[in-house]
Structure 1
C-alpha cells in the first residue's frame, strides 16, 4: 500500500460523490444481501429496520431475499466492535470476535464487575442454551429463563449477560421475527456449525481475498476487513478505519501495508485518504448520478462509518442529525454528495408521506427527486 507521487486531490464534494459510488448506492449491483455486508465489512444495525433498508438500497433486488439471508444463516447480527450491533457475514463472526471480543469485554469490565456478570455467566450460558434447545427464541424468553433461575435481580444485568455471551460467540441474533423488526437468538454452535478454518471466507465483490499474516503478526481477518472497509467506504483515512474497527492505529497501519488494491488521494486540506482505484475511474462517469438525491435510513454507514464526517456534513449541522447528542442518528437526505437534511415519514390512510427537514431550502427539482427516492425505498421483508 503506497501512495503515488502524483496523488489526486479531491474536493469535499468529490469525496462525497466517490463515497456514494464505493457504497454501491449509485449503481446498486445484482448481488446477494451478504455480499453487500461483505463489501462494507459490516453494516451498522442498532436499528434493525434501518439496517435492512440500508442493505436493500445497495442491491438491485432491493429487499427481495433479505429474510432468506437471515433465515438461512448467511447474515447474522452481533456486537463485533465498539459495543455496537452490526450485521456481519456469517463466516466472519468467529474470527472477528476472536480478535475484537476480548477488547470489547475489557472496555466494559468495570461495568460487568459492578453488575456481577462474571459470577453468574456460566449459569447464564447453560440456562440460555437449554432454553434454545427447542429452536430460536426472542431475547425476552432468555431474560425470563434467567429470571426464573434467579440470575437477574440487578438492573442492567440481563443486557450485559446477553452482550457477554455474544462477545464470546456463544450466541448471536439470527432469523428475523415476523415483522422484521427484531431477530431471534440462536446458539452459534448450532446456527453456524462449521467453524471457519484457515481464517478464510468468501470474497466480497472486488475483494482480493484473505491475506497471510505479515511480519507484524496481523491476523488475516483484520487485513481482510480493512481491505473491505477501505474499498467499501473510501475515500477514507486510516484513522477512521481504526475508529471503525476499534483497533489500535498501529495494527491498522500494519494491516494496510499489505494491501495492493487501494490507492491514495488527498483532500483539499492535505489529508491522506484511501479508496478502490476503480472508484476513481468510475467517478467521472457516475458523478451526475451520484450528485442526485438519496434518502438514507437512520444509522446508515454513509454517516456512521466515519469518525470524520466533515467532507459530507458541515460541522454546524452535525447536531441536526443527532438531536440532543443522544446517539440516535436520524435518517438523512444526501444531495450533491453532502448531507443536506433529515427526513421522516407521516402515516396516512392513503399511504405514507415523505416529511423533509432540510438544513436550507431545497430546490423544486431536488424535492421531486426526494419524492422519487422515497417511492423507491425498499420495504421491510
Structure 2
C-alpha cells in the first residue's frame, strides 16, 4: 500500500469520490459523525458527499430532526444521525467527563453546581423551547450559576454529554439549544460492548484505511477501548502494513475509482483531514501550518487534487451569486483546472447560487 492508495480509498470510503447515499441522515450514520463546530462548513461537508442535495435540504434534515447537532467526539460539536445520538453519547460520556474534570475543578464547578445548572437549563427549555446562548445565560445567572470565562462552554458540553440538551434550529446566525428528549424520541441504548463495536466498525468502514491512533484521535476513546473495539470487528475488516503501521479498512475490491482527474473543494474541519491523527497521506510534503489559520487553529477550506491538498479557497456570497477564490500552492494542469471549475459549480449549485469570477 502507498500514500496514493490511502487517499484513493479514503476518498471512496468517505463518499467524496463515490457517493452512494441520497439522504443526509444516511450519510451521517455511515460516517459515524461529522465534525460540526463550523455550521456552514458542516453543511457543505454533507453537500459535497450528496451531489444532488442542497443547503436547504440539509437545513431541513436538522429541522426535521433526522440529523442532530450536539457535542460528541472529543467534546466537539458534531452532526449525528438521530437514531445514533443516545447510544453514542452514552458510550463517550465517561471519557468526556474525565477529560473535562480538571477544567471543572479549576473553574469551581462541582457536582452540586453542575446539577443546579442542569435543573436551570431544563426549567428554561421545557416545553419544546429553543433558546440562544444569551437566553440560557440569563436562566443560569438567575439560578446563581456563574457563566463567565469558559464556564458556559463547559456547562453546555457537560449537559449535552449527559443527553440533556442538543442544538435546535439556528436563529439567524446563532445556535439555539433545546432538550434532547423533547427534540427526538429516546431510543434503546446499546450495551457498551455492542456500542463500542458499532462505532469502531463505522469509523474504519467510512474512514479507512486508518490506524489505531487515528481512531483514538477521532473518537476520544482510550487506547484500551479502541483496541477492544478493533478486536471485536476485525473479521469485517482487512489490514495492511505501511510504514510499520497497521491500517484497517473495508474490503479492497469495492473500489476501483480513478481519482486522477478529480478536484474537490473541502470545507474547513472536513472529516477527510480532521478524521485522522496522521494526515501525511493527504498533505504530502506540505507544512500543516499552510492550511491552518494563524493564531486560532482553524482549518482552512482546502482544494484537494488527486486526493492531495493542493491549496485553499474561500467564498464570498453576494445576492444571488458566489465568488470562489483560490490560493493554489502550484499551478494546475488544464484538465485539473476544468475539474476545479466543476467543483466551483457544484458548490454554487448546493448554495442555490450562480458562480461569478474564476
TM-score (norm 2): 0.89
Match of 2:239 in 1: 264
Alpha-carbon distance in 2 for matches of 1:159, 1:42: 21
Match of 1:205 in 2: none
Deviation string, structure 1 residues 272-294 (Cα, Å, up to 9, x no partner): 211111xx22433x114x64100
Q: Residue 77 of structure 2 is aligned with which of 72, 85, 109? A: 85
Shift, 1:271, TM fit: 2.5
Q: Residue 126 of structure 1 is aligned with which of 103, 119, 123? A: 119
Alpha-carbon distance in 1 for matches of 2:147, 2:273: 38
Q: Residue 287 of structure 1 is aligned with which of 245, 251, 258? A: 258
1:168 equivalent to 2:168? Answer: no
Contact 1:91 1:196 in 2 (8 A): no
- Residue 353 of structure 1 aligns to a residue in which SS? strand
Distance 1:81 1:347, change over 3 A: closer
Alpha-carbon distance in 2 for matches of 1:304, 1:76: 20
Moved more, 298-307 or 88-97: 88-97
- Residue 118 of structure 2 aligns to a residue in which SS? helix
Contact 2:51 2:346 in 1 (8 A): no
Shift, 1:82, TM fit: 1.2
- Residue 310 of structure 2 aligns to a residue in which SS? strand
Match of 1:230 in 2: 204
Match of 1:148 in 2: 142
* Aligned pairs for 1:197-208 within 5 A: 197=189, 199=190
Q: Which runs of 5+ in 1 are unaligned?
A: 1-9, 200-212
Match of 2:52 in 1: 61
Q: Displaced runs of 4+ in structure 1, greater than 4 A? A: 347-350
Alpha-carbon distance in 2 for matches of 1:363, 1:265: 33
Match of 2:109 in 1: 117
Contact 2:211 2:247 in 1 (8 A): yes
Deviation string, structure 1 residues 5-24 (Cα, Å, up to 9, x no partner): xxxxx221121111100011
Deviation string, structure 1 residues 199-255 (Cα, Å, up to 9, x no partner): 1xxxxxxxxxxxxx7xxxx62111101101001011111221122111122222222
Q: Residue 35 of structure 1 is aligned with which of 23, 26, 31? A: 26
Q: Which has the higher contact order (CA 8 A, sep 6+)?
A: 1
Distance 1:13 1:124, change over 3 A: same
Match of 2:356 in 1: none
Contact 1:231 1:276 in 2 (8 A): yes
Q: Residue 307 of structure 1 is aligned with which of 277, 294, 304? A: 277
- Residue 344 of structure 1 aligns to a residue in which SS? strand
Shift, 1:104, TM fit: 1.3
1:19 equivalent to 2:10? Answer: yes
Shift, 1:141, TM fit: 1.5
Match of 2:312 in 1: 342
Aligned residues: 347
Write 1 or 2 for the structure with the bigger share of helix: 2
Alpha-carbon distance in 2 for matches of 1:154, 1:282: 52
- Residue 326 of structure 2 aligns to a residue in which SS? strand
- Residue 281 of structure 2 aligns to a residue in which SS? coil
Shift, 1:153, TM fit: 5.7
Alpha-carbon distance in 2 for matches of 1:91, 1:369: 36
1:49 equivalent to 2:40? Answer: yes
Shift, 1:149, TM fit: 3.2
Distance 1:225 1:128, change over 3 A: same
Alpha-carbon distance in 2 for matches of 1:281, 1:325: 43
- Residue 330 of structure 1 aligns to a residue in which SS? coil
Shift, 1:77, TM fit: 1.6
Q: Which runs of 5+ in 2 are unaligned?
A: 354-358
Deviation string, structure 1 residues 289-314 (Cα, Å, up to 9, x no partner): x6410001010000100000011103
Q: Residue 102 of structure 1 is aligned with which of 67, 78, 94? A: 94
Shift, 1:380, TM fit: 8.2
